[in-house]
Amino acid sequence: MPVSRDFYNMKVWQKSHQLALSVYQMTRLFPKEEQYGLTNQMRRAAASIPMNIAEGSGRGSHAEFARFLQMSMGSAAELAYQLLFARDLSYLPDEQHQELHAVVLEIKMMLGAFIKRIQQS
């Protein structure tokens, strides 16, 4: 099965793009002293997910694309912990943590399936 290289049409990119936007919005409410700490780290991890999908889609081989998808997976795992950490610091309400964590888990499942599909082609 051919792999679409138009990242705009990839459901995993669309979902991760929306997650990154949500993280940017949510971290605006974090304490000012976290601007260069947790806020910056969470924004970078969240944005890294769709950025790596986009970059990988422009690479020449399936192996390179899969490698960038794996980097997206790593960023998603990092963000999952950062969301937990923000909740435990009382920067993020439990309900919002649960919603965002569920999206991260869904993205990780989508990435895993996509990586497997690419590696099999």
The overall pTM is greater than 0.75: yes
3 or 89, which is more confident: 89
Across the chain, what does the average pLDDT equal? 94
Domains of the chain: 7-120 (1.20.1440.60)
- Residue labelled with tokens 């919005």: 25
pLDDT tens profile 85-121: 999 999 999 999 999 999 999 999 999 999 999 999 8
The amino acid at 76: A
How far is it, in rounded angstroms, from Cα 85 to Cα 4? 36
